[in-house]
Homo-oligomer: A and B are copies of this chain.
Amino acid sequence: MTVKVAVAGATGYAGGELLRLLLAHPEVEIGALTAASSAGTPLGQAQPHLAPLAGRIVEETSADTLAGHDVVFLALPHGHSAAIADQLGPDVLVVDMGADHRLADSADWQRWYGGDHAGTWPYGLPELPGARERLRATTRVAVPGCFPTGGSLALAPALSAGLVEPDVTIVSVTGTSGAGKSLKPHLLGSEVMGNASAYGIAGAHRHTPEFVQNLSGAAGRTVTVSFTPVLAPMPRGILTTASAPLTGDTETGEAAVRAAYEKAYADEPFVQLLPEGQWPTTAATVGSNTVQLQVAVDADAGRLVVVAAIDNLTKGTAGGAVQSMNLALGLDETAGLPTAGVAP
């Protein structure tokens, strides 16, 4: 089986990572590559690392250029996906790598993003309870935000098992590629290198409602989330430190916690619960679709602490998108997705 795939937003970081993965996917033929301002130029200008596609000419993003493909990935600014998706027909698999179809609640959408709510599509994080089944039966996928990918997997098993209170604190250290190629002064290399800075503080980041949605779903009740992203001097990677008050006896807690995580992720090809004593590093996940996890109990503070490492562009965006495509098309879920990282 060969599926023909178009990528809208092929010149950005998410689009570039997606194309890198698709080049190695055994059942994919890469079709139209589209973008906005760089239409008409060879892809090699915007994506010099994609040597096999260097001579491909970027086209304009439109229903016409995207027509005639089995799968269309949309790596567009938020608010742009619904209009395109409506023109692609119900049989085409549309994978939205933007935010438009992630939130179930219209009020949430309007508060955090503004404008009309485009609706909700099956959520592309198969490791969450129930998600895999929905993805196997859809032609529309909403790819999660990069922060909620690692952070939700870090806490869902403990919340599902009732091991922690529904009141969580999440601090995620992220590389710069999550911000895309935006020409903003604080993203210049001179500003970023040798520097750590917090932003979107005190619940101001748009991924907060997505955390609440995912974790409340896992807990079966509303979860309060305090989320802070920290920008660190690295191109890729998110290291999430998540914690929550333990509900039970902390002296026996660590075994129960580890058992819950082992059970939750025993059959997951992309979640690696590390051996005791080994801690996640983002470097180990660069370019791979793996989530590295470790859990620990702080008996003094009475809290569970979970650390998760992912590559924001791979499992956090493009790898998660391919994983969902595989499920929706009935392919091997792991096809084309490396689990070994590029390190050092």
A298 contacts which chain B residues (CB < 8 A)?
201-203, 226
Quick one: which of A297-338 are within 8 Å of B by CB?
297-303, 305, 307, 309, 338
A233 contacts which chain B residues (CB < 8 A)?
189, 193, 232-234
Nearest B residue to A199 via CB reads: B279
A344 at the interface (CB under 8 A from B): yes
Does B194 lie within 8 Å of A235, measured CB to CB?
Answer: yes
Known: A13-B190, A176-B189, A198-B307. A286 touches B203 (CB 8 A): no
Stretch among A58-66, A76-84, A114-122, A179-187 lining the B interface: A179-187
A54 at the interface (CB under 8 A from B): yes
Nearest B residue to A285 via CB reads: B49
A208 at the interface (CB under 8 A from B): yes
Does B195 lie within 8 Å of A281, measured CB to CB?
Answer: yes
Give residues in A with beta carbon < 8 Å to B.
Answer: 13, 16, 19-20, 23-24, 42, 44-45, 47-54, 167, 169, 171, 173, 175-177, 179, 181, 183-185, 187-199, 201-204, 208, 224-226, 228, 230, 232-239, 241, 243, 272, 274-275, 278-288, 290, 292, 294, 296-303, 305, 307, 309, 338-344
**Distance A175 CA – B190 CA, assembled complex (angstroms):** 8
Number of copies: 4
A279 contacts which chain B residues (CB < 8 A)?
197-199, 201
> Most chain-B Cβ atoms within 10 A of its Cβ — which of A193, A286, A299?
A193
Does B193 lie within 8 Å of A176, measured CB to CB?
Answer: yes
A302 contacts which chain B residues (CB < 8 A)?
224
